[in-house]
Amino acid sequence: MLIKVFGSGCCKCSDAGEVVAAAVQEAGVDAQIEKVTDFKAMMALGIMATPAVAIDGKVMCTGRIPSREEVLKWLGR
């Protein structure tokens, strides 16, 4: 599973990455987390607001920090 956290590197984007990492660890899933700051990559997925999270190419949320519980649901836990 490839999880991408999109953002410019601001504190909200960092917080989103931390929430995702904590949820992945809690769920015990095999996932690679990648931070993406390339705006062209964001635009290619239609991401207009950050932070954003995509799992295996599917955008799960944009413009906000997801909750831990929300990420766990995305991970099937």
Residues recognised as catalytic: 10, 13
- CB within 8 A of 34, min separation 6: which ones? 2, 3, 4, 5
- Residue 33's identity, in one-letter code, is I
E strand spans, the chain: 2-6, 32-36, 52-55, 58-62
Q: Which residues pair with 6 in a beta bridge?
A: 36, 52
